[in-house]
Amino acid sequence: MPDELRRDHEHVPVLLDRVLALLAPALARPGAVLVDATVGLGGHSDALLAAHPELRLIAFDRDPAALERSGARLARHGERVQFVHAVYDRIPEELARLGLSTVDGLLFDLGVSSMQLDQEGRGFAYSRDAPLDMRMDPTTGVTAADVLNTYEIGELSRVLREYGEERFAHRIAKAVVAERSKAPFEHSARLVELLYQAVPAASRRTGGHPAKRTFQALRIEVNGELETLRAALPSAFGVLATGGRIAVESYHSLEDRMVKREFAGRAKSRTPEGLPVELPGHGPELRLLTRGAEVAGEDETARNPRAGSVRLRAAERIGWAA
């Protein structure tokens, strides 16, 4: 087995056992179909296919490298797996192209993948110098360098404040614009050095690495992550069959709040208060399967630091909106 494939097999996805348990009732149905909206290295999908020998998987990812590596990992499952190079807000259209209108399971493992963080040339990690790219699909779209070199102070400040929840957004934006007047930003080390200078020392001592929030904000902006998720959740519910289940793993509060609102809104009745009976088509669409957001335990977080920020929510389709 090649070294890269061996490492992929050794990689254990976040909250794997819990995801397996939450999705199991829906995926055990005859002819069940699962959409993995962000297949990544294929860890969750590999385990789900092994647990359900009749399961069919539709594996989405915008990153061609992820599709290549998960393809190698999932090859043992043969024709039960179909790969789709697309962003997950296109799930309904891509399923229709494959002749499917509904599925039994949906899995979203959001954010940047371990593979993307580990690939030195992608620019996702602030711990190593690399070109400021940060595109999940490196074949299209603007790069992080484009954002740093072209956005005005106000727009750059907004991105850092809204997507990175960065207290010093305006201060950093001013420093970036001043620095790029000398030479455009191209590599991450120069940006990290600027952030060390722009973020006050007291905040650096208590707020973690000074580049963490800025790199998160740039990645979200480059990939349109929140806009994509906002569009994808309603369309995903539109293809989830009655009795089907959805599980979403988020890694920062902006994603989790969006998922929470969408789940909560669909788990409530829309029948006006005071009516003695539920109006047809106005009952809850979902039954929540998790009490709030579930987190990883201390043992898993010790083995895999990425699990420390995960928030898992799951629900089951019980009805349809009018």
Return binding residues for S-adenosyl-L-methionine: 42-44, 61, 88, 109, 116
- Interatomic CA distance for residues 53 and 27, integer angstroms: 10
**Mean pLDDT computed over every residue of the chain:** 91
Predicted TM-score of the model (pTM): 0.89
3-115+225-317 homologous superfamily: Vaccinia Virus protein VP39 (3.40.50.150)
Tell me whether residue 263 is exposed, middle or buried, using C-beta atoms within 10 angstroms of its C-beta: 0 to 12, 13 to 18, 19 or more.
Answer: buried
Extents of the domains making up the chain: 3-115+225-317, 124-223
pLDDT tens for residues 144-179?
Answer: 999 999 999 999 999 999 999 999 999 999 999 999
Whether the Cβ atoms of residue 45 and residue 70 lie closer than 8 Å to each other: yes
pLDDT tens for residues 224-283?
Answer: 999 999 999 999 999 999 999 999 999 999 999 999 999 999 999 777 776 766 766 667
Specify whether domain 124-223 bears CATH 3.40.640.10. no
- Interatomic CA distance for residues 249 and 14, integer angstroms: 8
Return binding residues: 42-44, 61, 88, 109, 116
